[in-house]
Structures are given as structure tokens and as C-alpha cells.
Amino acid sequence: MKMRFFTGVLVTCSLLFVSGCATPQKAPPSAAQAPAPVVAEAPKQVPQDPALRITTAEVKALFAQEFGDKTLIKETLEKNTRFLLVDVRPKVRYEEGHVPGAISIPTPMLEANLDKLPKDRLVIFYCGGLACHLSPEAAEIAKKHGFTNIKVWYEGEPQWVKDGGYLITETPHLKRMFDAGDKEVFALIDSRPPLVHRKSFIPGSVSIPKVLFEQRKGLLPADKNTLLVFYCGGHHCELSHEGAVEAIKMGYTRVRVYSAGVPEWSKQNYALWGNEASGIVEAPKTAAPGALPEVISPEEFKKAVASGQVVLIDVRSEREFAAGHLPGAVCVPDGEFYKDLAATIAKLPTDKRVILYCATGARSAGAFFAVTDEPGAYKNPHGFQYLNKAISIAADGSFTIE
């Protein structure tokens, strides 16, 4: 039945066409008549209150006044007495990437967390840009509860990135990217010394130590829009932040720092690769009878510092050293151990016990193994060790070991 109907339709159409009664076909529209392409409207920007507005340039000026040229590690950020950045986006967005030093209080949760807002500092709310309503809403909630020293950074996180800033990413988001597999395209960069990377590293990361950045920067992706995530030895480690800054100078547009680094990744029992994870034990070096262990314990380190009878080598940068170092310490930045090892070894004394230290143990370990991996290059009968712990040093030389 269906076939007969279809045939009948064809016959009827044919007769109509022959008799000249067919419906005329419309000519295709000319270029001038072609419908205009549909252009998506830009999100409507939220109204701005001039009394509350703070610009990205003003935020960056606050950073410069408070931090100067210091690296934005946790220790530096915690000393901020001038202002507080509050990221009011959903927590998942904060974990993905937030401005250094910002805390997370999503707008719907602000009233329940007003005790986290200081009244002796400027409070700056920000979210996802000029079309995001969350930051002005948060400001209204704060005003309603008596807060007066507040600002809204309407441009927020997008403009911070556009103006050459990097973001901090948190462990949950990095783990989500790993779990997403091929759906997430990113490059993970280990900024620690190469010998430290070899022992243990986050899977898939490439070793581009800060001290060898110029030599190894060619390992970065050719596409400057690729997401880069730098990490090192934890919140007190500067290397990842410094690597991120170098990548931005090269033109990379999506740069983040996994500030928590290897310590937090390991604490969560997430997989690590490298010699330690693989069970590879390097052949022990021949040590003289009664030789001291390579790694000095925190207790022994404190005793050694108090005795004043050891040589302390601070392998951090000269800027870090100037901000605060242990009494009597000598600054020999770890980069020197890689640039000219023989010349650097020649600077190390042999008449006293020598102990290397840095901020987290990563740089001191790298420098230590750079020396000891050259058999016979440095002989010190009094001992040669390094501290493999995070250490915070005040301007007066006092310190705490974590």
C-alpha cells in the first residue's frame, strides 16, 4: 500500500511539472540576502558600585606594597596584614585555580562564616569576572552585618590571569584531572632538583628544575595555551612559583602552581613514581668507618646549630638568605652546584662538619647529591650532611623545623 501511494505521488508531481503548474522553486539567496550569522550575546555585566570597586591594577599595587618581590609562598602570604582576598565562587572553582593568598568562602556560605573576615584589614571579594554576581552579593551580605572596610574586585580571577598572574590549584582538582585521563590536557612540571625528582615524583610529570630552567625549557609544550601546572616540595618551596613566573614570561597563558606539592600528594596516599616507589635501591656509597649519616635529624641539627662548631651552608637564593638565615650561615645558592660543581666544591670547607639546608629539604638534597655523586670530589673527615625537613627562619635567625 505504501509503495502504491509513493508511486502515485511521483506520477502526480510529474504531470504537474509537465503542465507548467509546478510550484516555482525559490532561487538561493544572494550573499546580500543571506541571513546574518547568529552571534552569541556576551554575558551581561553586573552593575558596579564605584564606592566598592577595586581594579586589578589596584589589587596588584596592594600585592607590591605588601609582598614586594618576594615569592608568593605560604610563609610570605601569611604575613599579610594589609588585606584579605575572599574567593566567593563555588569551592570546586576555587580548587581549580585561585589567586595566591585568597581564602574560599562561597557566597551562599558567607553568613555562616563571617567570623573568618577580619575587621582590621581590607576585605576584597572576587569571583569569575565582570558578569559574575557573586562578589557584589557577598559585599552586600558583609555590609548588612556591619563590615565597612570592604571592596569588590569585579574583574576578578579572569583579569588576574589576563594580566600575567598565575593561579594556585588544590589537591582535589589535580586529582580530578588525573582521574579524567585524556579528557584533561595539561603538562605537570616538577621544579625540584633532578636527583630529588628521580627518587619520587607525581606520575606523568616532567623534570624541569628551576636551576636548569634555561637548559630544559624546550621540554614545555609548543602550544602556549596548554595548561601548565608547576609543583615542588610543598607550601614553603619557592621553586614551583619561580618556574611559573618564567613560563609566563615565555608567553604561556594558562599557568598554575600546585603549592601543596609532593608532601600533600603523598599524604593523601596518591601514587608516586620514581626509584623509591619502584623499590629501586641505589648502591650504597663507600663510607669511612664512623661516618655520619647523609641526612641529619632535626634534633641533631638544632644541637649542631647551637654548638656553633659546624659550617652551615644555606642553598636558598640570596634574596631568601637576606630575609633571614641561621647565625653564621654562608649562602651558596643551589644553582651554583649545577652551573660549576668543581668551583662550588672548592668553596666548601674541610676543617669542620658541613651541613646544607634550604626551605623544604629539596634544594639541600639536590646540592648534597650533586656533590656526593662525584666520587672523591669532596672529602671532609668531619662530616657532610643535609637537612631534609621544612624550616622557617625569622629575620633574627630564630627558626622552627616542621
Residue 200 CA to residue 203 CA, distance in Å, equals: 9
Burial of 377 (0-12, 13-18, 19+ CB in 10 A): middle
Q: Give 321's Cβ-side CA count (13 Å radius).
A: 16
C-alpha cell at 246: 618564567
Q: 283-290: long-range contacts (C-beta < 8 A, 24 or more apart)?
A: 285/372, 285/375, 288/381
C-alpha 315/C-alpha 331 separation (Å) is 6
In sequence order, the 6+-apart residues with CB closer than 8 A to the CB of 220 are: 187, 189, 208, 228, 247, 250, 252
3-class DSSP assignment, residue 386: strand
Distance of alpha carbon 367 from alpha carbon 279, whole angstroms: 23
Spatial distance between the Cα atoms of 328 and 321, rounded to a whole number of angstroms? 12
Burial class (CB in 10 A: 0-12, 13-18, 19+), 18: exposed
User: Residue 195: which H helix or E strand, with range?
Assistant: helix 194-199
Decide: 195 and 365 in contact? Cβ < 8 Å.
yes
User: What is the three-class DSSP state of 86?
Assistant: strand
**CB distance 349 to 174 below 8 Å:** no
**Catalytic annotation, pick one of 127, 132, 232, 237:** 127
Taking only Cα atoms into account, the Rg of the chain, rounded to an integer number of angstroms, comes to: 30
Note if 127 is an active site residue: yes
Task: Write down the residue that cell numbers 638544632 correspond to.
Answer: 302
46: which 3 cell numbers?
553586573
- DSSP strands (E only) in 67-162: 83-87, 103-104, 122-126, 150-153
State the Cα–Cα distance between residues 310 and 314, nearest whole angstrom. Answer: 13
Where are the strands (E) in 191-329, listed by range? 206-207, 227-231, 255-258, 295-296, 310-314
**Residues with catalytic function:** 127
